[in-house]
Amino acid sequence: MRRRLAPVIASAAGVLVFAAPASAAPADKPLVLSTWTQTSASSYSAWVAARGNRVKWAAYGFDWSTDYCSSSPDNPFGFAFRTSCARHDFGYRNYKAAGTFPANKDRLDNALHADLKRVCSAYSGAKKTSCDSTAWTYYQAVKAFGLSPQAAPAAEPAAQ
């Protein structure tokens, strides 16, 4: 009897050890967060790829929720600002959770503006001028009125 129970008990103990959730996010979480919230196109692309494969990053405990462009249109005049606004929300929410929001707010707002200008680069002539103007307005709004995630309106859960 003792021989039969020993492997079962050892096996059950092993399952409990491996099934227990990690108590802390990986140590490189601040580096990953910083990498995904820079003004560069490569930072934006890396974040978009990660957002598309959130399961891979689950251990980091990132907050992927968003309200997109808050009370402003997500696609003003047909300009696709929605994803740029989602990345901006990601930065605001996660730096606030890390307790380092004030030190990073300016960079997050600048990254939003860079993202919006990249959207506008697909246009030319009057349409580009209109897009750039709208991007500038959005940037000025978040720069002046950007709220901490706790003060912002309720967000959608991690939208696809």
pLDDT digits (tens, 9 = 90+) for 106-121: 999 999 999 999 999 9
pLDDT of residue 20: 38
Active site residues: 88
| Proportion of the chain above pLDDT 90, given as a percent | 75
Distance between CA 155 and CA 68 in Å, rounded? 8
Q: Is the per-residue pLDDT at 139 higher than 80?
A: yes
Mean pLDDT of the chain: 85
Domain membership flag for residue 3: no
Domain membership flag for residue 7: no
Domain membership flag for residue 78: yes
As for how many domains the chain has, the answer is 1
Cross-strand bridge partners of residue 156: 66
pLDDT of residue 37: 98
For the record, the structure tokens of 75 come out as 């696609």
Range of the domain at 50: 28-145
Q: Is the per-residue pLDDT at 9 higher than 90?
A: no
CATH number, domain containing residue 94: 1.20.90.10
With 0.85 as the threshold, say if the pTM is over it: no
Domain membership flag for residue 8: no
Domain membership flag for residue 56: yes
Which letter, b or e, does each residue of 100-135 get, where b requires 16 or more Cβ atoms within 10 Å of its Cβ? Answer: ebeebbeebbebbbbbbbebbeeeeeeeeebbbebb
Domain membership flag for residue 21: no
Domain membership flag for residue 158: no
Q: Who contacts 110 (Cβ-Cβ below 8 Å, separation ≥6)?
A: 39, 139
Domain membership flag for residue 111: yes
